[in-house]
A and B are shown apart, each in its own frame.
Chain A
Amino acid sequence: MKQLLILSGKGGTGKTTVSSAFIELSKCQAFADCDVDAPNLHFVVTQMPESEKTDYYGFQKAVIDESKCIKCGLCEKTCRFDAIKDNMVGLYECEGCSVCAEICPVQAITMTDHASGSMMLYQNKDTVFSTAQLNMGSGAPGKLVAEVKKRLTNAATTAKMAIIDGSPGIGCPVIASISGVDMVLIVAEPTISGIHDMKRIIDTAKHFGVSCAVCINKFDVNEDNTKEIERYCNNLKIPVIGRIPFDKTVIGAVNKCQSIACYPDSPAGKAITLIWDNLYYNYLKGGGGNAGTN
């Protein structure tokens, strides 16, 4: 199963707008939302049956048994994450290292499983959609992202291609989502911030040796910046596979829980359709992406 991942670096450039359109246009049977901190894809994909929801267990958390605790304060002093105050463990601060449990002179501390999010799998006879939501304040989303993808590949046994909506940034969840994908499409926006962040995500993707391509969303907001993005990508031999104009139709579509692909005659709809065709026929269909890597 080929895997296409949509990333951006900067938030708000249009990853979900683009991925939901691709999913609609390709009639793809396997897709996932790896933005586990703020998942949005489920709002704009075709209605699917109720999801099967499962707890996600991240780090274990330390629990202090008050009946055994002698209030010596050694755990509080030793904890590197400031997670213990007045002999109580802060669930949001605890990173599950278990130093406190090991060091407690009376074994009053145990490490216990703690649900730090939920995983959802929507499935009907042809299609699988895997997503998750990390609880607020939680850390280490990488494993949850890996789980979302694993559940997708396990369930989507007949799909030939998977489209994955990624998260903003360059850290742990992004790195985890890059694992095993055939191609990354970076949705860039022609703003100073957008260009700055695009460079960092390109760096990250190249670091992991995965094929990259770029498309420029809201390109007409600043055509000088758009040209700068194209120059930058050309220098790195990263294909710029299309430009999408700023189009208020997108907002209307989102608010109606629809993908922009439902408005194929709108300026954005037309542009995204062209981009999908380009991406699919020139990069995904054949031997797999060959674009923009060292």
Chain B
Amino acid sequence: MKIAVLSGKGGTGKTFISTNLACIADKATYVDCDVEEPNGHLFLKPEITKRIPISVLVPHVDESRCTACRKCVDFCKYNVLALAGDKLMIFYEICHSCGGCTLFCPQKALTEKEREVGVIEEGVSENVAVLTGLLNTGEVSGVPIIKHLMEKMPKHETVVIDCPPGSACVVMESIREADFCILVAEPTSFGVHNLTMIYELVTLFNIPFGVVINKVLPGENPAQKFCAEHKINILTQIPFDEELGRLNSKGHIVVDESKKYRKLFQELLKTVEGEVAK
């Protein structure tokens, strides 16, 4: 069972929910797809067993074969190649690895080579196997790393996928393999606006989903209203809790420290399992 945890807005509690859910299961794999700012490992503190560099393919020129015909320069949609002083220049940091320039060079002067953009760390934290993706600073897209994470995920076990915030292409990649999506929302007007975006996304992908409303305070709850209006299943509501905020700020896994939250997450997991079984 693969559960993806996502939220339109940042800071709503994706990592809080995904790490605790992974810990409460008998055995699970936690996958951190927020490769720009992965946080799960700060809470799970896994013992790292493997570091796998992740590379993308970029073009490399054999100057002895290059006739400066410009076919590659004119073809590239990302402006990776330039010709100046009869020398081909390649700015591989902005290359999208489409392979076009290499494929279409009439002189076969271009070949592809690997360039590292990030890393995947494999590790273990008690009953949780941890896969963390990390994008190198200055790199533009985490998509290649997320694709590798999706390949490495175990196929027949409980997997909790901690997604990046938003609803852009990196989020899409992270939820592709999911059997169920937990949408985490804050009960504020910002929270609801951003919930709308991910609601559209999971609906488009036709993945069963439910909402967890986090940091609920007495009074108005626009997120609850939204769910009622759209007949969306609310899996659980977590009240705002200063003590929880403090534990979180120190990097603690709350299910290890609090009976109350242990029970909450056990019930959440059971609810999700029930939804997936339907």
Residues of A within 8 A of B (CB): 9-13, 16, 37-38, 40, 43, 59-60, 78, 80-81, 92, 95-99, 102-103, 134, 136-139, 141-142, 168-172, 175, 189-194, 196-197, 200, 203-204, 207, 221-222, 225, 246, 248, 251-252, 254-255, 257
Contact = CB atoms under 8 A, between A and B. Distances in A.
Interface stretch (B58-66, B228-236, B243-251, B255-263): B243-251
B140 A172 contact: yes
Interface stretch (B21-29, B83-91, B119-127, B167-175): B167-175
Contact of A80 (B97, B164, B189, B197): B97
B99 A192 contact: no
Contacts of B166: 37-38
Contacts of B75: 98, 102
Contacts of A142: 140
B77 A139 contact: no
Contacts, number: 166
Does more than half of chain A's interface fall in helix, strand or loop, or is it mixed? loop
B273 interface: no
Nearest to A198: B37
Contacts of B164: 169
A194 B16 CA distance: 13
A168 B142 CA distance: 14
B2 interface: no
Interface string B182-197: 0000001110011001
A52 B187 CA distance: 30
Select the residue from A138, A191, A246 with max chain B CB neighbours within 10 A: A191
Interface in B31-90: 36-37, 39, 42-43, 75, 77-78
A213 to B, nearest CB: 20
A255 B140 contact: no
Contact of A97 (B77, B220, B249): B77
B37 A10 contact: yes
A57 to B, nearest CB: 13
Contacts of B246: 221-222
Contacts of B250: 191-192, 222, 225
Contacts of B137: 170, 200, 203-204, 207
B140 A169 contact: no
Given A171-B140, A251-B217, 15 more contacts: A78-B99, A80-B98, A97-B100, A98-B77, A102-B75, A168-B37, A171-B36, A171-B139, A171-B142, A190-B249, A192-B250, A193-B37, A193-B42, A200-B37, A248-B217
Contacts of A257: 189
A196 B39 contact: yes
Give 10 nearest A-B pairs by CB, closest first.
Answer: A12-B11, A11-B10, A97-B98, A192-B251, A37-B166, A191-B249, A222-B249, A136-B167, A193-B39, A139-B169
